[in-house]
Structure 1
Amino acid sequence: MTQEEILEVDILICGAGVVGLAIAMTLAKKYSVAVIEQHSGPARETSSHNSGVIHAGIYYETGSLKHRLCQEGNSRMYEWCDSHSVDAIQSGKLIVAFDDSELDQLQEVYQQGIKNTVRDFEQITIQQIHDLEPELNVVGALWSPWTGVVDAYNLAKSYERAALEANAFIAYQHKLTNVDKLGSQFVSTLIDTNQQISTVKSDVLVNCGGLMADKIANIVGYDLSGDEKKGLPVLQQSINRGRYYDIIDPDICRLISRPIYPLPDHQAGGLGVHLTTDTNGGLHLGPSMEWMNDDESPNYLNELDEFWLAAFLDAGARFLPQLKKEHLAPGQVGYRPKIQKEGEGLTDFLIWEDEGYVHLGGIESPGLTASLPIADQVMSLIS
């Protein structure tokens, strides 16, 4: 965009991650849509720095957005990937108990999955566990056959193509710096990497900023601490870092065929360090669960660190006792936007509309799986 240009559209979307692009391609069928993204391409943050798992909706509070949108998104994700040549594997997933002390919590997870009507979810026998994963030595497991893995980056690219085909306009390397509300219109000021300033006028502003969603809300003028009397939710987010270590020995990689999860630790911020396969046959351990300080910025470099190497070796050896240090190397690092604070339990997605402003906060896992239904949810809010 040029300094002199004023672009007028029905809807401006901030953020070209998986969710932002899913919303763009959905809304562009009916409205004129522009997308702005500070990075040089799509899905450069949370969307592509994760386990790439297609979730089935097991853990979440029954009836919550995470539960409902994840379950709907599960089947739609496989259908989309099949029809748009995106690699996805319906591998199934095991949730395991390593010793008898974990069996009660395993039963709690099972009951939540049953309450959530997770498709074909079941407790399986030791023999069934060994049939699925002969190298796994556990005392109990739950089987979720509709869980799988997807190539998250190419999923985002497929959404980007669909958005462009629907005539959405996408401006990369443009950062939002200011928003004014003039009547019913949002007047958004952008700056690009050449320090050129441009303007977008829109009737609707959709905030899919991911890690930056609360910062964008602040630019729009909202109090991030919320105001219950005024119906304003808390918009402040915390960030939880998740680093991964890759298993680099091909013989070890061939021992595991699907994601294997320990019991979740929701208060720590995630589902625990798990073994995850990918669509290329790789095997990964992660993510860690590290609450960041407010003054920290995301750093996507994961350099070799003896402390974390030892921690991941300990976590990995629970799944594969033959694992050694030389089998591991630093992998990716991801960051999760969280509405919950450290020590709190699971919180839901925040999808909220106020006079043309649509806020998507805390869009962490299972946001990837739920991306298509989230887009429909936004469509219904603005229609």
Structure 2
Amino acid sequence: MKSYDVIIVGAGIVGLATGVKTLEKNPSLKILLLEKENDIAKHQTGNNSGVIHSGIYYKPGSLKAQNCTLGYNMLLSFCDEHKIKYDICGKLILATNENEIPIMNNIYERGIQNGLKDLKILNSKEINEIEPHAKGIAAVHVPQTGIIDYTEVSKKYLSVIKEKNGEIFFNENVIDIKIVNGTSTVYTKNNKYNSRIVVTCSGLQSDRLAKLTHKNLSYRLIPFRGEYYKLKKDSHHLVKNLIYPVPDPSFPFLGVHFTRLINNEVECGPNAVLAFKREGYSKFSFSLKDSIDTFTWKGFHIVMKKHWKTGLGEFYRSYNKNAFVQALKKLIPDIEKRNLIQGGAGVRAQACLSDGSLIDDFLFIEDEGVIHVCNAPSPAATASLSIGQTISEKIFSQLN
């Protein structure tokens, strides 16, 4: 049986970035990536809308804020070096009523504290100079926000790993991890692999992988499906770039918004609907195991008691296109049902503590021979190289 220095479980963008940054520091290491699917970036990485986040929303000093700022610059440098297309097009965060103004101002101040330059607060006339069809009483203009295809980025990460003799095996679903006498052994349904250290970057399955070595986890992942519509081609003129609402600070999602993609299509959404399958992308996707894990978690009961009205509203929008359109019309009144066609969907892993707290920041659990990336929500794709660098530092700390 071949042995490795580092095994990374999961070939989403964070796992791949970890491989890139680890081999960048020491190209002689033997690194193996194990992926349960037949290709990379099949879940959260490949089903997001491709936004390069500026870091404006995140609490100053948090891991999200630090990694987003650093990762943003690392990502753009990587893309410039490898000729990956992106567009720093900017975005608007739109206040549509007076109650949203204080929250919008707080977001603006956070952006300043996080080091963003040239942020501007716009009036309604200035809003329409940037987005002629948008309607708001004020907005924050964020010039740093951009768009990209993260699947393309992930493919280039893998190419870099392979150039440095890193390996990847597909269709390898990890079922156990054991650490004995300084050796970490990863068991899949078909094989076992030895390594000096194992890193799990397993997204929607991260709590299950972490539980293999840490039986009494204090959190569980709750899956939320985000569904999109797209603007018909003859309606693309309604949106020039990115238009976001002022988010509800008590809810961990940004609200339905408009995103121009790097291929110039325009996505509208997403909502945030409780999913009954962690990797289920349709309204009818169901997993008994995943549903039991959600509904038996004490923290979930607390969250639902607090947010049940919002949750019901999200379900209603999921099944009622007219209701979805009404949410979009708050930002662009000219939007009509006829302008929209069905888009795709993604599932977000929301980490929830047993007391009902929703973990908003990145979370790592580390022990001898293993590092678990337990929570890596947005802006993990933007921050992937920074997160990968952080994980690689943890790896080398153990290897040394």
Note whether the superposition's TM-score is higher than 0.5. Answer: yes
User: How do residues 283-302 of structure 1 correspond to structure 2 at under 5 angstroms?
Assistant: 283-292=266-275, 296-301=277-282
What CA RMSD, in Å, does the superposition of the two structures yield over aligned residues?
Answer: 1.9
Aligned 1:91-240 pairs, distance under 5 A:
91-191=89-189, 197-219=190-212, 221-225=213-217, 234-240=218-224
The equivalences for 1:223-372 within 5 A come to 223-225=215-217, 234-248=218-232, 250-292=233-275, 296-301=277-282, 307-340=319-352, 344=357, 347-372=360-385
Decide whether aligned partners of structure 1 residues 236 and 212 sit closer, same or farther in structure 2, where only a CA change above 3 A counts: same
Deviation track 1:193-212 (CA, whole Å, cap 9, x = no partner) reads xxxx2111001110100000
Q: Shift of residue 80 of structure 1?
A: 1.6
Assess, with a 3 A threshold, how the Cα gap between structure 1 residues 217 and 346 changes in structure 2: closer, same or farther.
closer
Give the equivalent residue in structure 1 for 2:32: 34
- AA of the residue aligned to 1:283: V
| TM superposition shift of 1:174 | 0.8
Deviates more, 1:329-338 or 1:62-71: 329-338
Q: Cα gap change, 1:291/1:267 in structure 2, threshold over 3 Å: closer, same or farther?
A: farther
How far apart, in 2, do the equivalents of 1:117 and 1:20 lie? 27
| Contact in 2 for aligned 1:34/1:169 (Cα 8 Å) | yes
Contact 1:46–1:335 (Cα < 8 Å) also in 2? yes
State the partner residue of 1:194: none
CA contact (8 A) 2:351 2:358 kept: no
Give the corresponding residue for 2:393: 380
Displacement of 1:344 in angstroms is: 4.5
Equivalent residues of 2:56, 2:114 under 8 A apart: yes
8 Å contact from structure 1 (residues 302, 333) kept in 2: no
For residues 374 and 132 of structure 1, the distance between their equivalents in structure 2, rounded to whole angstroms, comes to: 33
Shift of 1:235: 4.6
- Which protein is richer in helix relative to its size? 2
Deviation, 1:124, is 2.3
Give the deviation of 1:269 after TM superposition.
2.8
Deviation at 1:345, TM superposition (A): 5.8
How far does the alpha carbon of each residue in 1:203-253 deviate from its partner, in whole angstroms, 9 at most, with x for none?
Answer: 11101000001111122x31243xxxxxxxx353222221111112x2321
Listed as ranges, the matches of 1:62-101 within 5 Å are 62-101=60-99
Secondary structure in 2 aligned to 1:361? strand
Count of residue pairs brought into register by the alignment: 360
1:266–1:212 distance in 2 versus 1, CA, 3 Å: farther
Give the distance between the partners of 1:100 and 1:180, measured in 2 at CA: 56
Task: Check whether the contact 2:230–2:266 (CA below 8 A) recurs between aligned residues.
Answer: yes
* 68 and 40 in structure 1: CA distance in 2 versus 1, 3 angstrom threshold: same
Identify which range, 261-270 or 352-361, moves more after superposition: 261-270
Q: Secondary structure at the match of 2:121?
A: strand
Cα shift at 1:273: 0.8
Q: Is the CA contact 2:43–2:279 (under 8 Å) kept in the aligned structure 1?
A: no
Q: d(CA) in 2 for partners of 1:378 and 1:18?
A: 13
* Aligned 8 A contact 1:337 1:361 in 2: no
Q: Distance in 1 between matches of 2:101 and 2:356?
A: 23
Note the C-alpha offset of 1:86: 1.9
Moved more, 95-104 or 33-42: 95-104
Once residues 114 and 173 of structure 2 are traced to their aligned partners in structure 1, the CA distance between those partners, rounded to angstroms, is 40
Q: Report the secondary structure of 1:279's partner residue.
A: coil
Tell me how far apart the structure 1 counterparts of residues 223 and 319 of structure 2 sit (CA, whole Å).
Answer: 21
Q: Tell me, in whole angstroms, the C-alpha distance in 2 between the residues paired with 1:345 and 1:115.
A: 24
CA contact (8 A) 1:269 1:289 kept: no
> Residues 14 and 387 of structure 2 are in contact (CA less than 8 Å); yes or no, is this contact kept in structure 1?
yes
- The one-letter code sitting in structure 1 at the alignment partner of 2:234 is D
Q: Which amino acid counterpart does residue 140 of structure 2 have in structure 1? A: L
